[in-house]
Structure 1
Amino acid sequence: MTAKDLKDCHKRIKSNIHRTPVMTSRLLNTMSGADLFFKCENFQRMGAFKMRGAMNAILQLSDQQKSKGVVTHSSGNFAQALSLAAQNLGITAYIVMPSNAPKVKKEAVKGYGGHIIECPPTQKDRESTAIRVQLEKGATYIHPSNQLEVILGQGTAALELLEDYPDLEYIFAPVGGGGLIAGTALAAYFYGKNCTIIGGEPFEVDDAYRALKSGKLEMNETTHTIADGLRMPLGDVNFPIIKKYVSEIIRVEEKEIIDAMQLIWERMKIIIEPSCAVPFAALLRKKERFKNKKIGIILSGGNVDLSNLPF
């Protein structure tokens, strides 16, 4: 992987994605004691950063692979991203979704033309169902977070942020399956100026925090977090990148996630989902450490179930 790989990826996908805005808030700067620059991927096509990785992965398939379609497993945002990317390119998308995925995300997948196959809500069931569909349909499996093409695609959000604000000292990103933070870390390494990457993760699903401590992949016993987009564990492709380039992971309580989400809704007047609030919650938890620093925060998505708000 090189700086050129990331730039080439951005060139490949840029006509199929939005260059999302970077927003600031004087009030949130005062509350945090830092200068904050929010990269608003909630304004991305299909409402989340995952459109970037999905599009990059699909655009690199052969014509024969495209003719057989693609398959993934996802609780929501990557499901929507792959469905929309496939629809745009005239490709069939088979989407394995856990039975407890938010209804709003299932409806969106259908709206983007994805074919949903439901499975029990365990990592093992998600993976085995996706393999079965792959074998039955001959579709190409695209992993939501543990695939280099996807990781590079996700990294283009931070690349754009650093093009706009090259002197950021930190970038905070949420940690779920690891694709976004791995891509963000690569972008900062290649294009930042001593820019440190910090992850935010719920205490309820803290496999990445534990993995950085132990040096090996860890699993979660339960996934009882409001941040439904962060329930997936890290993978063997993104973990080595995270281990090498991510400085630390700050864990947050469920109440801190909800409070951070509400603050952004109320003060910035934008819709974000719970997973998206986690890095901001992480910053607020340790704000004394980051006083007077220039900090980028990746707002990962805005696909929230309006009938089931936590506040």
Structure 2
Amino acid sequence: MSSFAMIQSAAKRLQGHARVTPMLSSPFLDEIAGRRVLVKAECLQHTGSFKFRGGWAAITALTAEARAGGVIAYSSGNHAQGVAAAAKAHGVAAVILMPADAPRLKIENTRALGAEVVLYDRAGGEDRDAIGLELAQTRGLTLIKPYDEPEVIAGQGTAGLEIADQAANLGVETGDVLVCCGGGGLTSGVALALEGLGSSLRVRPAEPEGFDDVTRSLASGQVETNAAVSGSICDAILTPAPGELTFPLLQRLCGGGIVVSEEEALRAMALAFMRLKIVLEPGGAVSLAAALFHPDQIQGDAVIAIATGGNVDTAVFQRALSSYA
């Protein structure tokens, strides 16, 4: 299980390699939300998302023998790129299992980073876990899971260390931290970091409609699953259920989830571009959408939204801008 000490260790290994991403704000967004809105721009992280943190933390924690044997990861794109970039930097061979319906940009970027990409039929029901495990065993690869992996959670948690420091510098000591949530690696990691620091900031997951397994799980007290595994533009955070490692942390440390529509995510993308001058993908804009369009579910004078990723296909970004800019 991940710990605050592991997050601190991951932060040391990431120092000088990961970007300390900025906390952005706009009076226009504050007016929409009815409170102060701070946006942690992880879309500006290497490879375009927070996943670089977890990929680097996991690769650098491997033994020399494991690195020599190569690694495998499965991902719709952001974890793929994070692991691929970290592996390339350390001379480690990487195989990435990706759904065939993942955004083309993410598939191309992963290949460009030197990884071998293996596609599978997510929509047709192929089991990525089974395929990944078979590839790992037959080729002697070390599997780096996208969220149910202690070192990955620790790496993602380093964003929480930055949030606490940046928020304090801006005079924000209490409030909700909204996190775009798939399997819960970033959400649980940030919550664990804030707990370790003794922060009064409260982490809450944000999810798209139809894929709100974490929100429902927190409400029921048991792991709930999604009826579908694909079919949303928020591809970056589509997971079947909370992770075995992440759910206990989410239960213990997080407040209730907030669910947004695809249209709200697209509108948040347009507003982020117009007011903050950043590019977000739909799954990376869900937390901002929750902050802006669900103010009645948030308490306090300020809210922090982690903009988790910006790897968006041109057509989807054009849709957001043409509809809402």
Change (3 A) 1:244 1:302: same
Q: 2:166 aligns with which of 164, 167, 179?
A: 164
Equivalences for residues 7-46 of structure 1 within 5 A: 7-46=8-47
**Aligned-pair CA distance for 1:57:** 0.7
Displacement, 1:224?
A: 2.2
- The one of 255, 258, 283 aligned to 2:263: 255
- Which whole-Å deviations, capped at 9, do the CAs of 1:13-39 have from their partners, x for residues lacking one? 122211111111111112111112211
Higher mean C-alpha displacement, 7-16 vs 230-239: 7-16
TM-score by length of 2: 0.92
Alpha-carbon deviation of 1:2? 4.3
Confirm or deny that 1:100 pairs with 2:101.
yes
TM superposition shift of 1:170: 1.7
Specify the alignment match of 1:208 in structure 2.
214
Conserved? CA contact 1:52–1:156, under 8 Å: yes
Report how many aligned residue pairs link the two structures: 311
**Number of the residue aligned with 2:63:** 62
The residue that corresponds to 1:191 in the other structure is 197
- Structure 1 residue 7, shift from structure 2 partner: 1.6
Tell me if the contact between 2:206 and 2:286 (Cα under 8 Å) persists in the aligned partners: yes
In the superposition, relative to structure 1, how do residues 23 and 192 fare at CA in structure 2: closer, same or farther (>3 Å)? farther
User: What's 2:147 paired with?
Assistant: 145
Range with bigger deviation, 281-290 or 263-272: 281-290
- Structure 2 distance, partners of 1:265, 1:67, is 42
What is the aligned partner in structure 2 of residue 134 from structure 1? 136
Cα contact 2:182–2:242 (8 A) shared by 1:
yes
Segment drifting more, 146-155 vs 7-16: 7-16
- Letter of the 1:102 counterpart: P
Residue aligning to 1:6: 7
- Cα deviation per residue 1:185-223 (whole Å; 9 max; x = unaligned)? 112212253211111111110111121122222221113
RMSD over equivalenced CA pairs, Å? 1.5
Q: Which among 235, 245, 250 is matched to residue 243 of structure 2? A: 235
Q: Distance in 1 between matches of 2:291 and 2:307?
A: 13
Letter in 1 for 2:301: K
CA offset at residue 290 of structure 1?
3.9
Deviations 1:126-176 (A, max 9, x none): 111111110121010000011111011101112111112231422111111
Secondary structure at the residue paired with 1:195? strand
Instruction: Give the TM-score, by structure 1 length.
Output: 0.96
Determine if contact 1:34/1:291 at 8 Å carries over to the other structure. no
Stretches of structure 2 that go unaligned for 5 or more consecutive residues are 321-325
| Cα pair distance change 1:288/1:234, threshold 3 Å | closer
CA distance in 2 between counterparts of 1:286 and 1:110 reads 38
Task: Using the TM superposition, give the Cα deviation of residue 248 of structure 1 relative to its aligned residue in structure 2, in angstroms.
Answer: 0.7
Shift of the 215–291 alpha-carbon distance from structure 1 to 2, 3 Å rule, reads closer
Structure 2: distance between partners of 1:107 and 1:2: 34
2:13/2:57 contact within 8 Å kept: yes
Structure 1 residues 212 and 55: CA distance shift in structure 2, 3 A: same
- Preserved contact between residue 176 and residue 230 of structure 1 (Cα < 8 Å): yes
Contact 1:170 1:197 in 2 (8 A): yes
**Structure 1 portions without partners, runs of 5+:** none
Q: C-alpha separation between the residues in 2 aligned to 1:276 and 1:192?
A: 27
C-alpha distance in structure 1 between counterparts of 2:298 and 2:127, whole Å:
41
Aligned counterpart, 1:173: 179
Distance in 1 of aligned mates of 2:45 and 2:245: 25
In structure 2, what residue type is equivalent to 1:121? R
Describe the SS at the equivalent of 1:218: coil
Contact preservation (8 Å) 2:41, 2:306: yes
